[in-house]
Amino acid sequence: NAGVTQTPKFQVLKTGQSMTLQCAQDMNHNSMYWYRQDPGMGLRLIYYSASEGTTDKGEVPNGYNVSRLNKREFSLRLESAAPSQTSVYFCASTQQGWGEKLFFGSGTQLSVL
Amino acid sequence: QKEVEQDPGPLSVPEGAIVSLNCTYSNSAFQYFMWYRQYSRKGPELLMYTYSSGNKEDGRFTAQVDKSSKYISLFIRDSQPSDSATYLCAMTGGSNYQLIWGAGTKLIIKP
């Protein structure tokens, strides 16, 4: 049972380049989330998808777009990367709702030069 | 002021010590309180989950919530080097409330 799988694990981009972070879960969860984690800032929500077919902005959505491709997959796209987007990105999923246990992927370490 | 405050540490203690990790918060609507453990270069994993006030115990771990003081704690008894990690508190009012995270406390257990 793989849980939440994120790809890639590491990525270096130049300013202005674009990329898509992929996330897939095999637990049949309804809700999926993208977070970024920066030193001293904790986890900050970028976007979430409460259920298949819906997406909503979180605390820090600027510069990002998401796609809930199906119930299993939720991707995060950086259209024009900026150094401020250097961070560790985590995908997470839950069965339903904010009070539920979150299952996290192992993260993507992104550097934008 | 952040909604959830957590001392970033690092907190370094000898093996076998009792560890106390804490978070304070400002939103009285929070009802669900969680502690996540995060090992280096890994995603967080849920350690303890508490609804409303009171204590919850699971093995060497005890989570405590004091809603009147807006203060939550995680106690680790007989700490082990394998407990070395960053501990994140998180909380929510449930329903449409987002999960609000503390910045995390780095814990180091010295053998």
What is the per-residue DSSP string for chain B?
--SEE-----EEEETT--EEEEEEE--TT--EEEEEEE-TTS--EEEEEEESSEEEEETTEEEEEETTTTEEEEEESS--GGG-EEEEEEEE-STTPPPEE---EEEEEE-
Q: What percent of chain A has pLDDT over 70?
A: 96
Over the stretch B61-84, which tens digit does the pLDDT of each residue have? 999 999 999 999 999 999 999 999
Q: pLDDT-based confidence at A2, cuts 50/70/90?
A: confident
B94 contacts A97? CB cut-off 8 A: yes
Residue A99: its pLDDT value, please? 65
Tokens 């259920």, located at residue:
A51
* Banded pLDDT at B97 (limits 50, 70, 90): low
pLDDT at B23 over 90: yes
pLDDT tens string B99-111 = 899 999 999 999 9
Residue pLDDT, tens place only, A93-113: 998 766 678 999 999 999 999
pLDDT of B94 above 90: no
pLDDT band for position B95 (50/70/90)?
A: low
Query: For residue B3, which residues of chain A lie inside 8 Å, CB to CB?
Result: none
Q: What is the pLDDT of residues A45-71, one digit of tens each?
A: 999 998 899 999 999 999 999 999 999
Q: Which of A35, A102, A106 to mutate to test the interface with B (most CBs of B within 10 A)?
A: A102
Q: Give B88's Cβ-side CA count (13 Å radius).
A: 24
Measure the CA–CA gap between A17 and A22, rounded to whole angstroms.
17
Task: Supply φ then ψ for residue B43, to 5 degrees.
Answer: -80, 155
What percentage of chain B has pLDDT greater than the value 90?
A: 81
Is some CB atom of chain B closer than 8 A to the CB atom of A96? no
Question: Which of A5-14, A63-72, B87-96 is predicted with the least confidence, judged by mean pLDDT?
Answer: B87-96
Could you tell me if A89 and A34 are in contact, meaning their C-beta atoms sit under 8 angstroms apart? Answer: yes
Check: CB of residue A87 under 8 Å from CB of residue A108.
Answer: no
